[in-house]
A and B are shown apart, each in its own frame.
Chain A
Amino acid sequence: MGKFFERIPEPVTRLLIVVLALVVAGVVVVFGLIPRSMMDVNAQWAAAVKREEARPIKYAGFHACAECHDELYDVKKKGYHKDLSCETCHGAAKAHTEDPDKVKPEIPAQRAFCPQCHAYNPSRPRGFPMINPVAHNPLKPCASCHNPHDPKPPTTPKECSACHGEIARTKAVSHHVQLACTTCHEVPQRHKVSPRAIKPTKPQNREFCGKCHGKEGTDRMAKLAPKIDLAQHGEKYVCWQCHYPHSPEVAQ
C-alpha cells in the first residue's frame, strides 16, 4: 500500500492536495456558510405563503357591513341590488370597520357613477337595465329619483312590465319601443290571476307582421315601418325565425 503512494509523482500529490482543499472549502461553504433558509426551497415557499396570508385586507366583506348597518341591509336585501356588496359602490371599507368615526367610506353621488353599470352598451347582456345617460334626465343626480339601496323605476312597473321586465327593457331600446304589448298579444284578463294556466296570444303567421311591414300593409300607424314583399321575402320561414320581435334587426 505504502509503495503505491510512493509511486505517485510529486506534482500529482500536490494537485490532489489542492483538489482536496477545494472540496473541503466547498463543503464548508455549502453546508456551513450559506444559511439553510437559502437552500431549502420548501421553507422559502412556506415563508412566502405566510407573507401572502399576512397582507393587509382592504375590503371587509358584506357580512361586516350588516353588523352595524342592519336597517340599510334589510332594505337592500329586498330590492334589485340585493346581490351587490356594499363595497361595490362604497369602496374598500376595512379601515371604516376598524375606526368607524374617523374613516368614512365614500358615497358616490355624482351622476357619472351609476352609468358605469347602467349606461347603454350593446355588449351588456340583453335585459340588463340600461339607460342613455345623455338623454335620461340630463344633469339630475340618479338618487333624486332612484333609491340606490332599493332601486326602482320612479313609477312602479305596471301591466306587462311588472312581470316581463326583461322583455320590456329590451323593447325600450329597440325600434318597437312605441308599440304596446297588446299590439301583438291579446291578453285575457285572467292571465293576471293565473299567468301559467291562461296565456296571452302570440302572432301565428307572417300575415300578422305583414299588417305593418307588408308592401300593401294597411295600418296607417306603420307608414314609416320597413316594408317587404310578403310573397318574395323570407321563403318558408315565419318572421320571428330571423327577427326577434322585441328587438328587431334592421338591414340598412
Chain B
Amino acid sequence: MNDRRTFLRGFLSVLLSGGAIGGILKVLPSKAYAKETLHEGKWYGFGVSVDKCIGCARCMEACKTENNVPRQPFFFRTWVERYVIRKNGDTTVKTIEPNAEQLPEAATDRAILRSFFVPKLCNQCAKPPCVQVCPVGATFQTKDGVVLVNEKTCIGCRYCIQACPYGARYLHPVTRTADKCTFCYHRISHGLLPACVEVCPTQARVFGDLNAAASPMSRFQRMNKIHVLKPGLNTEPKVYYANLDGEVR
C-alpha cells in the first residue's frame, strides 16, 4: 500500500516537472528563432549591384560632404573596396581613395584572375550586435529599421566599434562619439535619397522601403540573386548585394 503511494507520487511529480520543462523548451526556441519578417510602416533597405560599381568614389565624397565626416582617408561612413583575386588564391582588398590617380597597373598582370569593386556601408542589421553591447543605450534601432547613435549619451567607449562585424563604425575625432552611416536619416525622412545613392553614376546603389509594393528597392530584390555579408552571424543585414563574389567578406 505504502509502496504504491510513493510510486504514484514520484510518477506524478516526474510527469509534472517534465511537462513544465518541455513547456519551457517549447516556448523558448519559438521566441529565439522567430524571424521578424513583418514590420509595420516603413522598413528601409539598401541594394548594391556589385557588377555596376565603377569605383569612382563619388559616393565616398558625397557622404563625407553630406555628413561632415572627417576628411582623413580612414574615417568612413561608406567606402568602396577593390578586390583583386590572383590565380594562386591570394585576395587583396584595398579601400579606394577618392581623387587618387587610378593606374591600370593590373591591366597587364597575368597573375590576376579577376578584380572588382565592392561598395560597403553600415548593414543596418535587423539584429544589430552594436546595439546589444552599448552600455549606456546610446545606439538604438528606429522603428523604420535604421540604427542610429545618440551622440548626447554616447560615452565613446568603442564597444560598438569592436562589436560590428562589418567595420562600419568609427570614433569621430571631434565629438569623440561613435559615428556611422544613418542611411542619411535627415534626407530620407524628407523624401530624398541618401547622398551616396543620389550621386552614384551607374545606379549601383539602390535605396528604398522594403515594404513598398513597387519601388527601385523592391524591384532590385525581385530581379536579382541576393546575398548579404556574413549571413552566418545571424545579424540579418538590410544591405543586400547582387552579383556578390564569394571572396567578399
Residues of A participating in the B interface, judged by any CB pair closer than 8 Å: 41, 44-45, 47-49, 51-59, 61-62, 81, 83-85, 87-88, 91-92, 115-117, 119-125, 128, 132, 250-252
CB neighbours (8 Å) of A120 from chain B are 104, 107
Q: Are A41 and B137 in contact (CB under 8 A)?
A: yes
Given contacts A44-B137, A88-B199, contact A57 B153 (CB under 8 A): no
* B49 (CB) vs chain A CBs: closest residue: A125
CB neighbours (8 Å) of B137 from chain A are 41, 44
Q: Is B12 at the interface (CB under 8 A from chain A)? A: no
Q: Is B102 at the interface (CB under 8 A from chain A)? A: yes
Q: Are B51 and A125 in contact (CB under 8 A)?
A: yes
Q: Are B148 and A49 in contact (CB under 8 A)?
A: yes
Other than the given A44-B152, A53-B189, 12 more pairs (CB < 8 A) read A48-B150, A52-B148, A52-B186, A53-B186, A53-B190, A57-B186, A59-B65, A61-B198, A85-B199, A92-B66, A119-B104, A123-B82
CB neighbours (8 Å) of A48 from chain B are 140, 148-152
Given contacts A48-B140, A120-B104, A122-B104, contact A59 B199 (CB under 8 A): yes
* A119 (CB) vs chain B CBs: closest residue: B102
CB neighbours (8 Å) of A115 from chain B are 102
- Interface set, chain B 81-114, CB cutoff 8 A to A: 82-84, 99, 102, 104, 106-107, 110, 112
CB neighbours (8 Å) of B189 from chain A are 52-53
Q: Are A85 and B65 in contact (CB under 8 A)?
A: no
Q: Is B116 at the interface (CB under 8 A from chain A)? A: yes
Q: Give the docked Cα–Cα distance between A104 and B189 (Å).
A: 27
Q: Are A83 and B203 in contact (CB under 8 A)?
A: yes
Q: Give the docked Cα–Cα distance between A85 and B195 (Å).
A: 10
CB neighbours (8 Å) of A124 from chain B are 54-55, 117
What are 28 pairs between A and B in contact, CB < 8 Å? A41-B137, A45-B140, A48-B151, A48-B152, A52-B148, A52-B185, A53-B186, A53-B189, A57-B186, A57-B192, A59-B195, A59-B198, A83-B201, A83-B203, A84-B201, A87-B62, A92-B65, A116-B58, A117-B54, A119-B102, A122-B104, A123-B106, A123-B115, A123-B117, A124-B54, A124-B117, A125-B53, A128-B54
Q: Is B163 at the interface (CB under 8 A from chain A)? A: no
Q: Are B142 and A252 in contact (CB under 8 A)?
A: no
Given contacts A84-B201, A88-B201, A123-B82, contact A49 B104 (CB under 8 A): no
How many residues in B have their beta carbons less than 8 Å from beta carbons of A? Answer: 49
- Interface set, chain B 49-65, CB cutoff 8 A to A: 51-58, 62, 65
Nearest-neighbour CB distance to chain B for A187, whole angstroms, equals: 29
- Interface set, chain B 185-214, CB cutoff 8 A to A: 185-187, 189-190, 192-193, 195, 198-203
Nearest-neighbour CB distance to chain A for B8, whole angstroms, equals: 44
Q: Are B142 and A49 in contact (CB under 8 A)?
A: yes
Q: Which of B107, B142, B149, B186 contacts A55 (CB 8 A)?
A: B186
Q: Are B150 and A45 in contact (CB under 8 A)?
A: yes
CB neighbours (8 Å) of B150 from chain A are 44-45, 47-48
Nearest-neighbour CB distance to chain A for B97, whole angstroms, equals: 11
Q: Are A122 and B66 in contact (CB under 8 A)?
A: no
Q: Give the docked Cα–Cα distance between A132 and B66 (Å).
A: 32
Nearest-neighbour CB distance to chain B for A220, whole angstroms, equals: 28
Q: Are A92 and B152 in contact (CB under 8 A)?
A: no
- Interface set, chain B 34-73, CB cutoff 8 A to A: 51-58, 62, 65-67
CB neighbours (8 Å) of B235 from chain A are none
Q: Are A87 and B199 in contact (CB under 8 A)?
A: yes
